Amino acid sequence: MCMAFLLVGPLFLALSSSAWSELVIRVTQGNDQPTIIAVAPIALNGIQIKEDIGSIVEADLKRSGLFSAIPRRDMLAFPSVASDVYYRDWRMLGTEYLVVGAMIPIGEGRYQLDFSLLNVTAKKTEFNHRVSGTKSQMRDLAHLISDKIYQEITGIRGAFSTRLAYVTANRKNGKYIYRLNVSDADGAREKLMLESPEPIMSPSWAPNGKELAYVSFETGRPAIFRQNLVTATRQQLTNFTGLNGAPSWSPDGKKMALVLSKDGNPEIYILDLASKKFTRLTRHFAIDTEPTWMPDGKHLLFTSDRGGTPQIYKLNITSKATERLTFRGNYNARASLAPDGRTLALIHRSSDTFHVASFDLVTGRMIELTQTRLDESPTVAPNGAMLMYATKQGDRGVLVAVSLDAGVRYVLPAKSGDVREPAWSPFLR
Amino acid sequence: MIHSNKFGFTAVVLSMILAGCSSAPTDESTDIEDTAVQTGQVGTSAIDDSAMMDAASAADTVFYFDYDKALLKPESRAALLEHAAALNSNPRSVRLEGHADERGTREYNMALGERRANAVKKFMVLQGVSAGLIEVISYGEERAASYGSNDSAWSMNRRVELK
């Protein structure tokens, strides 16, 4: 039995990766002064793998907008260890950093990859690192290499090993198919979490990256579910009359903020996941929705139209005191907090179009980050370097990533149907 | 590590990186372990709309709203009075499905759709219909009636459907 799965598993993986890889990246705008890096092909020593690890690393780094890469066709040699590198050759190409590496089998289906980051200008090795994994983990190895290199050169923790959750909707003959998917941060290895003829909305990651909460209408009414990524175990958390929406997992993973309208209009509640106890936090006839946690676990941000138009408010969970944060414009909604605890990404309306804007909680400064007009659902990467949002290109929903300084931008369009509501995972290790 | 679930699906490996860093002075290393991801199964079936259709009533069953508003339009009134009268003489359960256009955020639009459906419910209750017969469900912007990102499509989508 076990043997059969060992044989079947990788075959199914190979088939499914082409069938499910729906997101394709196009970099549309980069940084003005990128670091020039060369990633030499990884020496495989006869190991047969279908991924080109060097290319995945190169694509990761380029997508960050902070790097440009020396094309392989321009390389004079493909060294795999530091001792084989002629620095002068690489300097002539304008290379600032060079990545070399080699893989060997270490038994029991595992492979070890030693790689080095070389500083071409200083002619020295910045670091050596060893990663290991199975053949099904070659993309993980590549993203891990990207993370290490990115952190060494930029000083910012890499987020290439993270994942995305998002919803796709396809309409055929008047019938819908909604899918909740999880993929790598680069859109590869898309995996179906849930498929339903009824809407699926508002995916939210557990802080450990092992579960998702979301809204599903599969019962004919909106209800909040949690689902384990590994076991596929699902649990329905709410079943109230009216709205059951906008789940947001607390930083400690023990609670969930959400929206219920069982008492007449939308209010923010906190659900204690262990005791199943609901605590109502807002009490207002206006719309209160889209709660998101501050990193301290003691405050929530939420959207409310209690002042006449939707604006972002801050709520003290203990005292239930609220404070309005945004004042510029007549529509500021769905705040997503960057890991610095200070920068908000939100949806801001200006001259009748809906953009993603950043809002500094300390200075109150708002900066529009996008020029598209129907932007939704901003989600900030766990390293704070990029955010992703949903928008429309033509009549199709696409995902776009933009750096928080708006200097870098790339698009992840789905091959078919609408893709929407991206949720960037926390760090997974 | 590859799992199979009880439905006989073979799980697709989507590995998660669990780093165990054991470091030598110059060489660090990171081992990757596997966890499998499985697809969840949708539970009970959705409500069957067809069972709720009312063949007897010929009045309009879709009521439109202005942008970011939940006020009934005067032109909705006649049809709503007719529905209320029909429900008063022949009580049955109805469903009011509130919708919004695609502009603005999805969860806010869920609230807006509900507010619209509640406005219709309130009107019908004032006409004597028992509140217990009316279920309000918001679909927000999830179920457009008209596709396209323009004023005419949006005006068709800001609606409440009586079912």
Domain chopping of chain B, boundaries: 49-162
Q: What is the pTM of this model?
A: 0.87
Nearest to A192 among B39, B105, B108 (CB): B39
Q: Are the beta carbons of A290 and B108 separated by less than 8 Å?
A: yes
Give residue A350's pLDDT. 87
Residues A118, A238 within the same domain: no
Pick from A132, A136, A202: CB nearest B31: A132
Same domain, residue pair A36 and A105: yes
Contact A333 B104 (CB under 8 A): yes
DSSP per-residue string spanning A326-384: --SSS-EEEEEE-TTSSEEEEEEEETTEEEEEEEETTT--EEE----SB-EEEEE-TTS
Cβ <8 Å between A130 and B27: yes
**Residues of A with Cβ-Cβ distance to B110 under 8 angstroms:** 201, 222, 243, 245, 289
CA-nearest of A372, A361, A401 to A384 is A401
ipTM of the complex: 0.89
Q: Whole-angstrom Cα distance, residue A237 to residue A271?
A: 9
Tell whether A366 and A219 lie within a shared domain. yes
Q: Note whether A144 contacts B17, CB cutoff 8 Å.
A: yes
**Distance between B118 CA and the closest CA of chain A, angstroms:** 9
**Hey, what are A297's tokens?**
């676990």
pLDDT at A83: 95
Residues A221 and A188 in one domain: yes
Out of B13, B102, B107, whose CB is closest to A259?
B107
Blockwise average pLDDT, block size 10, chain A, 429 residues: 30 33 54 88 96 97 93 97 96 97 96 97 96 95 97 96 95 89 93 96 97 97 96 96 98 98 96 98 97 97 97 98 96 95 94 91 93 92 95 88 83 80 95
Residues of A in contact with B69 (CB under 8 A): none
What is the sign, positive or negative, of the torsion defined by CA atoms of A385, A387, A393, A397? Answer: positive
Same domain, A348 and A385: yes
- Name residue A204's amino acid: S
Contact A218, B43 (CB under 8 A): yes
B81: closest CA of chain A, how far (Å):
23
B104 to A220: CB separation less than 8 angstroms, yes or no:
no
- Are the beta carbons of B30 and A198 separated by less than 8 Å? no
Residue A285 CA to residue A408 CA, distance in Å, equals 41
Q: Do B37 and A191 touch (CB under 8 A)?
A: yes
Q: Are residues A211 and A91 in the same domain?
A: no
Q: What is the pLDDT of residue B94?
A: 97
pLDDT value, residue A352: 82
Nearest to B36 among A140, A230, A334 (CB): A230
Q: Which CATH architecture has domain B49-162?
A: 2-Layer Sandwich (3.30)
| Domain that includes residue A197, residue range | 163-424
Identify whether the C-beta of residue A381 lies closer than 8 Å to the C-beta of residue A338. no
Query: Which stretches of chain B score pLDDT less than 70?
Result: 1-28, 32-37, 43-57
Inter-chain Cβ pairs, chain A and chain B, closer than 8 A: 199
Single out the residue in A152, A172, A191 at which a domain terminates.
A152
Among the partner-chain residues B28, B42, B107, the one whose CB lies closest to the CB of A334 is: B107
Contacts of B132 in chain A (CB under 8 A): none
Backbone angles phi, psi at A4, to 5 degrees: -60, -40
Q: Where would I find the beta strands (DSSP E) of A185-298?
A: 191-196, 200-205, 211-216, 223-228, 234-236, 244-249, 255-260, 267-272, 277-280, 288-293
Give residue B28's pLDDT: 66
Residue ending a domain, among A152, A187, A222, is A152
Nearest to A116 by CA among A158, A79, A70, A89: A79
Domain boundary residue among A133, A152, A171? A152
Nearest to A236 by CA among A228, A245, A227: A227
Same domain, A202 and A148: no
Gap from A218 CA to chain B (nearest CA, Å): 6
Give the list of residues 6+ apart from residue A175 with CB closer than 8 angstroms, or none: A197
Is residue A285 assigned to a domain?
yes
- What is the domain count for chain A? 2
* Helix or strand run (H / E) with residue A56: helix A53-63
Tell me phi and psi for residue A71, to 5 degrees. -65, 150
CATH number at residue A316: 2.120.10.30
Whose tokens are 């669990």? That residue is B18
Q: Which of B161, B154, B163 is nearest to B66 (CA)?
A: B154
Copy the structure tokens of residue A70.
């020396």
CATH number reported for the structural domain that contains residue A93 in this entry: 3.40.50.10070
Provide, as residue numbers in chain B, all residues whose Cβ is less than 8 Å from the Cβ of A128. 26-28
